[in-house]
Every structure is written in C-alpha cells, then in structure tokens.
Amino acid sequence: MSDAVVVMEHVSKQYRQGATEVPALRDVSFTIERGEFAALCGPSGSGKTTALNLIGALDRPSSGIIRVEGRELGTLSRGELSVLRRDRIGFVFQAYNLVPVLTAYENAEIVLALQGAAAAARQKTVMHVLDEVGLGGMEQRRPDALSGGQQQRVAIARAVASQPAIILADEPTANVDSQTAEKLLDLMETLNRDKGATFLFSTHDPRVMARARRLLTMVDGRIAKDERRS
C-alpha cells in the first residue's frame, strides 16, 4: 500500500476576472507522503493557498488530477467530498475560524460530533487533545476569552482530534507574535513526531520555512524548487 496521502498530477487552476482567465496554478505535480512536515512557500499570489484549497476539496481544479489517500477528488460527488473533508482532512487557518459562541471544548469537539462519535469517546479524546496542546483547564472558555495563540491551539486541537490523514495549515502563524509562533510550531512538530500527523503548510513565514523538512517553493503558480531536508 502506498504511503502517498496527497498526489497532484499536472494540476492547473484559472480564475475568471471579467472576460479574462487569470492562472493561479500552472501544471503543478507533487506527492505528500504520510508523516511529512512540508511547506508550500513563496510570495503572495504564487499559488500556495490555491493549492491548499484544491487539496482540501474546497475548490476544483481547471485541469489535472488530485488524489487524497488514493481517492480521485474529481470523481467524488459533493456529498462524498464533504465526508472526505470531515473525516480525512484537518484544517488550520490563519484567522482561526472558531465558532465564537462555542467553548474551546465545543470547538475542538465539532468534527467528532459530526462524525457521530459517542459522547464518552468524544469527551475522552477532546480532553486529551486540549491537554496536549496546552489548554488543559481552559476548555470552558469561549474564543473571546482566549489569546490569539490560544485560539490557534484550539484550531489545532480541532484539526487533529479526529486523526485525519493530513492537516492543511494556511499561514497558521500569520496573526500571532514571534514567541507564540515558535510555541505553535513546537506543538505541531511534536504532533508530527510523536503522533505521526502529516502537515502541509502554506507560508511565507521564515520561521515555518526553517522548521519544515520539505520546502516546495512556488513562483507564478508553478513549483520552482522542491527541497528535502534530513
């Protein structure tokens, strides 16, 4: 069985602006293996967030093939894509995307609840994950009672609670200070090392790029360089 979690084959994406087609991705191909800690890097407009959105089945490519755990996204219905996003893909966004009226516990529990996990199993998992991300004792706080870094920790807890195949992190350090960013990266590295969680970042943050064990540099919608580190 292949260890490929994500495969992109000759993927292109154009967006229409009026009568003009604007290319966002141009013939992009790469594979992300299970357990990788990889980053798509490059300047704004290079296509890295577009690539993440396509892998996360939040958008469809104009051409090319994307597979997640061997399932070709272009062959799946809307309902099947929704289930795939819920069960196999974790998302961490730069704006956190927490539900403001829910507690940290409830935000971290959302995916497990949608999956229909039993209440006792959800509680055990969520409390454990919140403790792992350093939020033990804060489970009843709502987002407005948490710092930016703590909110991002809730988002990471939500992303990893259901043990997805891959966690897509779009500029996860963009809205926090340097010290908090380093702590968040420590946390994600620990989850990768100790839990085998697969991470793919989009970033132009040098701190993230310094930690990534694989850097895919994007320029004008293409992969300009693919660098692996030990």
Mean of pLDDT values over 182-206: 93
* Residue 222 confidence class, pLDDT cut points 50, 70, 90: very high
Instruction: Please report the domains of the chain, with CATH numbers, ordered by start residue.
Output: 35-61+80-228 (3.40.50.300)
Specify the pLDDT at position 175.
Answer: 84
Residues 6+ apart with CB under 8 A from 222: 25, 26, 27, 28, 47
Structure tokens that stand for 221 in this block: 């919608």
Q: How many CB atoms lie within 10 A of CB 31?
A: 14
What does 55-89 look like in DSSP terms, one character per residue? HTTSS--SEEEEEETTEEGGGS-HHHHHHHHHHHE
Q: Which residue has the higher pLDDT, 43 or 226?
A: 226
Specify the pLDDT at position 2.
Answer: 65
163-184 confidence digits (pLDDT tens): 999 999 999 998 888 898 899 9
H-helix or E-strand spanning residue 105: helix 104-114
Specify the pLDDT at position 174.
Answer: 87
Residues 6+ apart with CB under 8 A from 88: 68, 69, 164, 165, 166
126-176 confidence digits (pLDDT tens): 999 999 899 999 999 999 999 999 999 999 999 999 999 999 999 999 888
pLDDT of 54 strictly over 60 = yes
Structure tokens that stand for 12 in this block: 């292109």
* Residue 1 confidence class, pLDDT cut points 50, 70, 90: very low
* Residue 18 confidence class, pLDDT cut points 50, 70, 90: confident
Q: pTM for the full model?
A: 0.92
Structure tokens that stand for 3 in this block: 């260890």
Specify the pLDDT at position 95.
Answer: 86
